[in-house]
Structure 1
């Protein structure tokens, strides 16, 4: 497969996964901003959290000068001038899909194209009239349909593998960033053994729901969610689809199945990260410091993404 084609398939799926992850991030922040703030602010800080996580807060402040709920929601979701918005992620996914129409099925293309046409209609209507929660659910639904069309209709060849690579590298990065942001927001409360405060309960529960892992948590653990259990679930449980370990296992498997010797640096790093998660206990992570560990692993995932790019996606 040509590196250009591989790159477009990879980024098509990365942008769609990113749009879904941004919607999850925005939905949980919006929901928490509506709760009583217990003297901690008026909810604007919570709404600004997605901007902090994605590194777009400074850009927003340069354009708008101050935090404003309606402007922040529009900026993050539907702003055409914000390259990191959900709107622009869906546009970029459609551009990449159009370039590789000959390598994807009609079902995949129709899903992505219909998503782009509908988000343009939503943008014209305005987020206020459409509803932020409804919009976030719509984005997640369109992403689910894309994955269903991919899994159900495309041949299990190189095109399928590069689509899956994009999905899991983006998902791994998102899980790490969301967990780190929630842990940092709780501050000293995150270190409590029981995490029985109402604020801690709702913060951890919101994070689990954002990553579609709340049901998994209630099945595996007893009691209120806290830093220890939530971190173990989202980092080390291979049976939780959006966990870091589940993502790394998939990345390791996909990279190992790609032919040729060019990908050895990426394959080696993926195998190392997979093994590290396989043989690490949550106690070791917490002893090191969760924030420190997460920050280091975010850099490692970024290093793996660069290795994938240089191994497969750059023209030789």
Structure 2
């Protein structure tokens, strides 16, 4: 497979995952802001923007954090190159670049979803329609992942697509945990602290983990259990442990297909060792922030190594 085709598949699914993650953040922000006074609602939208990594860019164009401004900036604003509308455009562009190796069903899922969402976001998104737009974005992701899982050969293309998904998902989860956790709990002295149950529920909703968490732990919103669930529970498909386990398998499959391992496989092994030996007690001894910073750095290094191992720009 040509490096530029592999790059197209890898980034097609990174952008898709990134747009879905933005939709989840907006959905969670909506739920919280509707139950808060104006000042607290603005703080929640500031948190959503910061979690998306776009606070500096947002504040260059807006002086306040009203819901309408925040979600339109994330969804469609022209001066935001990281808007969902822009990212889904990149999904479609990369799908076109990889058109010769993806199925008709996958292309149709991407193209039809793009046309529907682009039309919906051609005008400002109001209070009455933002929920529908967010649902449409999440449905686009579900359709696209379903088409990929149901129609693609388990060859290089499939593994590059899955690697892109897991790299992006791990980055998003680690960022949500780091920023949201410190908004809730500025001190590492988590034992015995008084936590806002609604905010912890919001973290789980931000990663579509509320029902899965309840299934494992019941309805108790406990910071220690939530951190353990989102970092270490490899049964949950959005935990850091699951993301890197799945990523390791796909990188191993690529190495087997190419007949050799690269730097990405070595970095993956090192990450595996750290996560396998980790317990929630050790996690808090290290410090959650310190762990997440190191995890994010390793995740970014693996992504860069994949690009170099498989000559994405060749």
* Interval containing the TM-score (normalised by the shorter chain): over 0.9
Corresponding position of 2:12: 12
Structure 2 distance, partners of 1:146, 1:130, is: 26
Aligned residue for 1:117, secondary structure, equals helix
Corresponding position of 1:210: 206
Q: How many residues align?
A: 312
State the Cα deviation string for residues 180-212 of structure 1 (Å, max 9, x = none): 121011134874435654xx2111111112222
Equivalent positions of 1:80-99 (< 5 A) are 80-99=78-97
Q: Is 2:222 aligned against 1:226?
A: yes
Corresponding position of 2:156: 158
Question: TM-score by structure 1 length?
Answer: 0.93
Structure 2 distance, partners of 1:42, 1:205, is: 16
Work out which of the residue numbers 103, 126, 130 in structure 2 matches 1:105: 103
Corresponding position of 1:144: 142
State the Cα deviation string for residues 61-114 of structure 1 (Å, max 9, x = none): 222333333222111111133111111110000011111111100111011111
- Whether the aligned pair in 1 keeps the contact of 2:51 and 2:180 (CA below 8 Å) is no
Equivalent positions of 1:10-89 (< 5 A) are 10-37=10-37, 41-89=39-87
Structure 2 segments unaligned to the other structure (5+ residues) = none
Aligned residue for 1:238, secondary structure, equals coil
Corresponding position of 1:311: 309
Structure 2 distance, partners of 1:36, 1:53, is: 19
Corresponding position of 2:285: 287
Corresponding position of 1:241: 237
Q: Is 2:124 aligned against 1:126?
A: yes
Closer/same/farther in 2, CA of residues 133 and 194 from structure 1, 3 Å limit:
farther
State the Cα deviation string for residues 1-46 of structure 1 (Å, max 9, x = none): 1101000011011111110011111211222122235xx9341121
Closer/same/farther in 2, CA of residues 154 and 68 from structure 1, 3 Å limit:
same
Corresponding position of 1:253: 249
Q: Give me the CA root mean square deviation.
A: 1.9
Structure 1 distance, partners of 2:67, 2:214, is: 33
Aligned residue for 2:107, secondary structure, equals helix
Aligned residue for 1:23, secondary structure, equals helix
- Whether the aligned pair in 2 keeps the contact of 1:27 and 1:136 (CA below 8 Å) is yes
Structure 2 distance, partners of 1:288, 1:266, is: 25
Aligned residue for 2:61, secondary structure, equals helix
Corresponding position of 1:169: 167
Structure 2 distance, partners of 1:28, 1:263, is: 40
- Whether the aligned pair in 2 keeps the contact of 1:23 and 1:139 (CA below 8 Å) is yes
Closer/same/farther in 2, CA of residues 270 and 202 from structure 1, 3 Å limit:
same
